Structure 1
Amino acid sequence: MKSNVGSIDRLLRIIVGLIIAIIGVIFDSWWGLIGIVPLATGLFKVCPLYFPLNISTTGKDK
């Protein structure tokens, strides 16, 4: 798949994903699993929602 998540977007997704997951562990809540979504999209550099909306934060066309 073509990368559509830029470096700043990627960093923010990883940080937010980790924070949500950690808060879920601290409060012993299943809601922490939601943190997997931004974490995975940041690590894999692909956001499935960006494809139908034709959005790319990479800054240049690869």
Structure 2
Amino acid sequence: MLLSAGGSVLGCIFLVLSMVNVIQIRLGMLSCGSRAAVRAVTTLVTLVSSALILYISTVLYSFKQ
């Protein structure tokens, strides 16, 4: 069960990385300083990381019970 949760977290991380690449293709490279791309990536990473923290804490809490 714990390995399944770990695989889910890794899958989510890889999905975010691929979405960052799509954002860079559509809006411009992050290294070139595209403001729209930086804002989109920042928003995406903030939302996904907060969701992952909530998910991980829920999984760890369920194993403590």
Q: TM-score, normalised by structure 2?
A: 0.46
User: With structure 1 as the length reference, what TM-score do the two structures score?
Assistant: 0.47
Q: Which structure is larger by alpha-carbon Rg, 1 or 2?
A: 2
